[in-house]
């Protein structure tokens, strides 16, 4: 069967996902949830979406009576994900939710619990977990090609524009660069090293306190320590361009990717040579992979479920605490 998906939030990323889904073999865009009537009619004519599959933010609970929709993909500002995910779960539909899943671990856990209680799946939009070069490197690590991973370096950032956008609003974004882009280095460290951190340290710098208000991080450098003794050193920023790079060295080999998490093509190499896996639009692979997961229980190489999302939120909570206090923060995720 096809996974029949409604997209909630018809902004820039929602539009990208809709386009990518046109090439999916196992997932299909069938509905929309939006607060903007003109966008709904545009999408209806562009994607052939019937009126009965169109909702707004007030009435979408009624999706529970719609047998033509299996899942809702939440692609709204971060601060809205938790409430919207819980409402979708209560309507009995699977939820795919964009990263970061919420604005802290407490929200993430509430979302996991609500989806469990409603007996629906909760998947987080970790598209890199389906990307061929990334999958290849993770498989190499699993096959011990790098030996014991020792050190990961992640750099994630870009210069953010318009100071009035929701990404710079604490309520809607939950933070700044860390929530939006730094999370890629956190998640990347975990899938490249194959472990979860047990401590973090962090240092914050802010050069523009007008643009980056209280609680909205501009630049944070952070370190993570892992049970094996591996360490990671990462940079998250909204104030520097061309930062999209992963590096890892282990006892037997190494890898580097740049770009490592952009829309692609991803590029990189290992001690064995260039990564040559073909580029396929990430969101197309992701949505077909998520359909396989929902219908056949086929897991991607590393998880994309709500619990995976909560781990990243716990690490972000700890990084914010470490940056504020200067302390080394122990975590148990
Ligand atoms: P965007 O601003 O382009 O779109 C957000 C949409 O939400 C807009 O259509 C807006 O109208 C709607 N919205 C609903 N209620 C709103 C409110 N109260 N305030 C503001 N907007 C409201 O943002 P985006 O870039 O599409 O990001 C949306 C989500 O997708 C974020 O969580 C972001 O982290 C995530 N994202 C993920 C990736 C990825 O590669 N996985 C890439 C980009 C964005």
Identify the band that residue 154 occupies on the pLDDT scale cut at 50, 70 and 90. very high
- The domain ranges of the chain are 3-127, 131-278+306-330
Q: What is the b/e burial string over 144-165, where b = at least 16 CB atoms within 10 angstroms of the residue's CB?
A: ebbeebbebbbbbbbebeeeee
CATH fourth-level superfamily of 131-278+306-330: Dihydrodipicolinate Reductase; domain 2 (3.30.360.10)
Our answer to whether residue 184 is catalytic in this structure is yes
Question: Atom of ligand 1 at shortest distance to CA of 39?
Answer: 9
Q: What confidence score (pLDDT) does residue 220 get?
A: 99
Question: Which residue out of 55, 184, 191, 238 is catalytically annotated?
Answer: 184
pLDDT tens digits for 8-48?
999 999 999 999 999 999 999 999 999 999 999 999 999 99
As a residue count, the chain comes to 333
Average pLDDT over residues 124-153: 98
pTM check: above 0.90: yes
Q: What is the pLDDT of residues 183-229, one digit of tens each?
A: 999 999 999 999 999 999 999 999 999 999 999 999 999 999 999 99
pLDDT category, 162, cuts 50, 70, 90?
very high
User: Above pLDDT 90, what percent of the chain?
Assistant: 99
Report pLDDT for 245.
Answer: 98
Out of 3.10.180.10, 3.40.50.1820, 3.40.50.720, 3.40.630.30, the CATH code matching 3-127 is: 3.40.50.720
What pLDDT shows up at residue 279?
98
The backbone torsions φ and ψ at residue 68, rounded to the nearest 5 degrees and listed phi first, read -95, 5
| pLDDT tens digit sequence for 39-77 | 999 999 999 999 999 999 999 999 999 999 999 999 999
Task: Tell me the pLDDT band of 263, cut-offs 50, 70 and 90.
Answer: very high
The tokens 């490249």 sit on which residue?
192
C-alpha 306/C-alpha 191 separation (Å) is 16
Residues 257 and 267: their CA atoms lie apart, in Å, by: 6
The owner of tokens 């064995």 is: 272
What does the pLDDT look like over 268-294, one tens digit per residue?
A: 999 999 999 999 999 999 999 999 999
Q: What pLDDT, on the 0 to 100 scale, is given for residue 117? A: 98
Paired with 96 in beta bridges are 73, 123
Residue 284 has a pLDDT of 98
Tell me which residues have their CB closer than 6 angstroms to ligand 1.
9-14, 35, 75-78, 80, 98-99, 125, 127, 166, 172, 180
The arithmetic mean of pLDDT across residues 102-116, rounded, is 98
Sheet containing strand 94-97, edge to edge, reads 54-55, 27-33, 3-8, 71-74, 94-97, 122-124
């Amino acid at each position: 069967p096809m996974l029949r998906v409604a997209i909630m939030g018809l902004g820039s990323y929602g539009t990208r996902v809709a386009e990518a889904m046109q090439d999916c073999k196992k997932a299909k865009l069938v509905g929309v949830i939006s607060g903007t009537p003109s966008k709904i009619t545009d999408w209806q004519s562009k994607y052939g979406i019937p009126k009965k599959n169109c909702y707004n933010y007030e009435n979408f609970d009624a999706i529970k009576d719609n047998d033509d929709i299996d899942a809702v993909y939440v692609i709204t500002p971060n601060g809205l994900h938790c409430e919207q995910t819980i409402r979708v779960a209560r309507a009995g539909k699977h939820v795919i939710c964009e990263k970061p899943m919420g604005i802290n671990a407490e929200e993430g856990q509430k979302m996991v619990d609500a989806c469990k209680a409603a007996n629906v799946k909760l998947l987080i939009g970790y598209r890199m977990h389906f990307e061929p070069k990334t999958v290849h490197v993770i498989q190499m690590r699993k096959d011990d090609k790098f030996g014991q991973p020792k050190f990961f370096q992640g750099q994630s950032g870009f210069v953010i524009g318009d100071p009035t956008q929701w990404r710079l609003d604490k309520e809607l974004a939950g933070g700044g660069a860390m929530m939006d882009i730094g999370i890629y280095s956190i998640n990347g460290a975990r899938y490249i090293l194959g472990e979860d951190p047990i401590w973090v340290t962090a240092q914050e710098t802010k050069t523009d306190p007008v643009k980056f208000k209280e609680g909205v991080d501009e630049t944070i450098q952070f370190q993570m320590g892992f049970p094996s003794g591996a360490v990671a050193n990462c940079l998250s920023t909204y104030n520097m361009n061309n930062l999209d790079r992963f590096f890892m060295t282990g006892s037997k080999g190494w890898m580097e990717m740049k770009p490592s998490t952009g829309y692609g093509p991803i590029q990189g190499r290992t001690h064995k040579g260039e990564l040559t896996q073909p580029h396929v639009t990430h969101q197309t692979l992701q949505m077909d992979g998520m359909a396989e997961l929902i219908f056949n229980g086929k897991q991607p190489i590393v998880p994309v479920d709500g619990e995976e999302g909560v781990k990243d939120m716990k690490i972000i909570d700890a990084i914010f605490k470490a940056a504020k206090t200067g302390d080394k923060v122990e975590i148990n995720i």
